[in-house]
Structure 1
Amino acid sequence: MITEPVFSQTGSIINNSGTNNELIFGMSTALTGPAAELGKNMRLGIQIRLERENVNGGIKGRKIRLIAWDDGYEPERTIPNIRNLINQEEALAIIGNVGTPTAISTIPIVNEEKTLLFAPFTGAGVLRKNPPDRYVINYRASYAEETSAMVNALIEQGGLKPEEVAFFTQRDSYGDAGFTGGMNALKRHGLTSETEIVHSRYERNTLVVESALADILLAEPVPKAIIMVGAYAPSAKFIKLARKSGLDALFLNVSFVGSAPLAKELGTNVKGVIVTQVVPYPEDLSLPIVRDYHNDMDNYGGNKEVSFGSLEGYIAMEIMIKALHNIPDEPNRENIIDALENLGEFDIGLGQKLYYDRQDHQASHRVWPTSLRQGKFVPFDWQNMPSVLVP
């Protein structure tokens, strides 16, 4: 068994290969702070997939190395990380960064340096321009697609009126992205004015959610569903305080919240919590990609538990490796993008086809709903929405 990678004091993975003949990928992510579990899980998923590739000989004999640096989910720390990863570490591409505000600070740098930002852990629209930025390529569904799925289910299956839905969001670009997507979906279902919707907010990297909860509790009518666009720690605190206050609303979270840490924070007694996912259930062994993920977690995961987050990182690296094998010459910062765009329709064992070309830089548009049951998020069918809503 290959043990978990060793990290230096700066957060980069120490090179154990003893050779400079490597393909280096950079990552600036949250390894400390309230979003740390998200960054650690993404890093883990990427690492276990590249470990297997390296054991099998790498890319035309060249090993892959990930250098992961901590930015604490703060954009001002991301900026020097990205510049140093590109210019000093000579990363071929940046992969799997976590967060919308940190991604926004990354985009102008990768465009300037002509270096790919691949599969960031964010669904923000700013990374999904039409036509797309050449140097930004996504894997996952957008926050607009996640919140639209929630709104459609609440209204079409659950029978709610648009004004019975409220929002709890992080006060930054991440929260704004989710709120905008959800509001657009509500307007498609007949909402005429944003003033009919309660929108409560909290500050990033804090747990100060009491005022946001007060806004919800004082609303008329009291919301029956709350769409949440936050990190796991403040979101868990908000849900627990809301339940103690007698609020029986359904809480719906976008994927960025982090299912495993949210479930851990909430414990086994909390009900009425949904999280939309952008990867399949990590225990669904009917899917080839999930079976491979389990095998690689067993071999290279250092006894870590499977999770939606590490599966997303794993899928990102799987796609990257597929593209790398299609490059006939030496991989570089430009032909790695060409290789991804040239994949067209492709299959990695996800249960659905993925697609890239020069005009489409988002491989997947699917959303998988899950519901909290006895301290764990399990698959949920939108058709069962009436059963989880309080009349």
Structure 2
Amino acid sequence: MSTAFPAALSAEEIASAVRSRALRAVDVVAAALERIERADPVLCAFIEVWGEEALRRAGEVDARVDAGERLPLAGVPIGVKGRHGLRTAGPLLAAGCVAVGATSVPGPGTAWQTWGRGRHGRTVNPWRHDRTPGGSSAGSAAAVAAGLVPLATGSDGAGSVRIPAAWCGVVGLKAGNGRLPSTDRTGLMAPGVLARSVGDVSAYWSVMSGEEPGSGSSPPVAVWSADLGFDDPDPDIVAVAHAGAVRLAEAGALRLVRPGIPLRLEDPASAWLALRTPGADPTAAHRIRAENDRRLDALFADAELLLTPTAPTPPHGHDGPGDRYSTALTWAFNLSGHPAISIPVGFGPDGCPVGLQLVAPRGREDLLLWTVRCAHI
């Protein structure tokens, strides 16, 4: 059997096979390391690869399984975002995951946080190597999309999980602010995860939060907004994302309704930038934040989900994003603290993936995961 055999398996499938001893964690991790060695010189998804340590940890997982310990993510190889990613991965490692390396993040001088720089050079989008994977969880998205690992951690301060998830065609969850530990002094950044299936994202959430994915008896009511009332996203992106929202409704995962009053948020750019800039006057930022919170509270009083395109543009080239904010439709929810998920719903004219963002009331990650699982994403 080739050591590449687990490449298509999900994290849930790997864990089940390792627990039943149909697969050994050592073999799964060795296969992941082989894929990384073969593909990473082109993708540049990793800053560091911990081959010897990962194989040792995988052996420990096999020993724990042999001893009768039931590990929910036994033998799952994961990438962790950046060199300090292990600091927040403790629950995943305790659940049986094996960290195989640190994924790439933006290097010096990479404004807008949409590039990544790995050990071999700039990180490329697996769908088009002349395009960026998005950032700042660049390497995590590229590694998952290319099948190097089934799961990778991220962090999201303005869209840094959701945007690379959208541009690389994978699922990316931003937890609600304050739901999981974060070291960000501003409170804007929340932990997150990237995976190829929502089932794997659900498994991550169960381990990290101690909560089981939710269930429901009826499809949640959802509202669509192409622009949140202030942005001007590319029409091609809007069309693909809206078609994805309609398919979710047709699949019975949600019920799309037209709001009585269209959602019109104030542009959060100045507020976000002020809160992230040391010494800046936060007065105007607090006003914008409070007003947007009021408008979102009104929306979620009548609806359970808000749907938007994840990013307003397709992935840009390695020369930079120009004057467009790729975060335009995501960072409002870092300010408000709502949980949000990006799911792949199709492709733009450039051949790159397009993401649909689903936003839920505060504390309702379970609703996001249940809804997307109902659509078999």
Same fold by TM-score greater than 0.5: no
Structure 2 length-normalised TM: 0.28
Structure 1 length-normalised TM: 0.27
Bigger relative contact order, structure 1 or 2, given CA contacts below 8 A and separation 6+? Answer: 1
